Structure 1
Amino acid sequence: MFSFVVKRVGFLKDIPLLAILFDSLMRFWMFIAKPELLNWIDDLEENVKGMPGTTIGIHKYGGTAFNYLGKEFAHVHSNGLMDILLNKELKKSLMMEGKIKDHHVFKNSGWISFYLHNKQDVAYACYLLKKAYDRAR
């Protein structure tokens, strides 16, 4: 459903608060359908809080934004989709492993997308967040 919304009605994100409302509805659905996902997102937040200079806030298009000195380096949507900013060389290298994908919107950038499907994905997500944090520093 998320991909459909982004591709077909993505223009709606420009309506104030609509993307945040949509993400909140996804979060509520995950609370019912896959509550462990919310725990995994909490684990990611705790991991990022331990990185000096970071803050956590609401992402402008819904989800949780991870910032270093006020600049975003990653965010996670309530359906478990993480978007992480890396450099293009690292992105290319990691894509060869097959665990990450091009960003769902910004294909020709350093942004990547990674889905949290299970508890084991949290460790890899933390690895990616550390790489993005190191790049941001």
Structure 2
Amino acid sequence: MTTDRAAIAATVDRLIDEVSGWPHVTTGEHRFGGTEFRVGPREIGHVHGWGMLDIAYLKRLRDVLVDARETGSHHLLTESGWTTEYIESPEEYDHARWLLRLSYLYHVNVLQKTPAGAEEFADVDVESELAAMALTDDIRAAFDRR
């Protein structure tokens, strides 16, 4: 497969532009390079310009996503809740966005259960967004920590 680095970089830029526009998401430079996405004090993931996307989940949710072949284990932290996805073409944008949105919703959901976060993140309707994502029962159960 021939890699079109310019197309990958454009896809990464598109992802950064979209995710940075989600409610309560802040971006910054990641300590290992690339762009980091945060919701409140929590990092939901970071992306490198060459297409490597690392995403933070609860370990149980990460395990279900890896088992379902939605993503892979983190390239270094294989036993953590982190995953690594490689964006190798513009066609992979929607899936990368889906994975990041799931992490975003998971972290917002956790923050909504805190006294400060209940009010701060009340504008994000996690339940309706999850329903629209058409998650498998296994992914939904892992998301809900059941």
What TM-score, normalized by structure 1, do the two folds share?
Answer: 0.71
Shift of 1:116: 0.2
Q: Deviations over 1:85-122 (max 9, x none)?
A: 01122212211232421111111111000000111211
Q: Deviations over 1:59-88 (max 9, x none)?
A: 011111111124311001122110000112
Candidates 67, 79, 83, aligned match of 2:54: 83
Q: Does 1:74 align with 2:45?
A: yes
Q: Does 1:108 align with 2:79?
A: yes
Deviates more, 1:121-130 or 1:82-91: 82-91
Amino acid at match of 1:77: H
Segments of 5+ residues of structure 2 without an aligned counterpart are: 109-146
What TM-score, normalized by structure 2, do the two folds share?
Answer: 0.67
Matches of 2:38 and 2:7, distance apart in 1: 24
Amino acid at match of 1:46: D
Q: CA contact under 8 A between 1:55 and 1:70: conserved in structure 2?
A: no
Matches of 1:91 and 1:71, distance apart in 2: 16
Matches of 1:110 and 1:70, distance apart in 2: 17
Number of aligned residue pairs: 106
Larger helix percent: 1
Matches of 2:102 and 2:26, distance apart in 1: 16
1:58 aligns with 29
Percent of aligned positions that are identical: 30
Segments of 5+ residues of structure 1 without an aligned counterpart are: 1-29
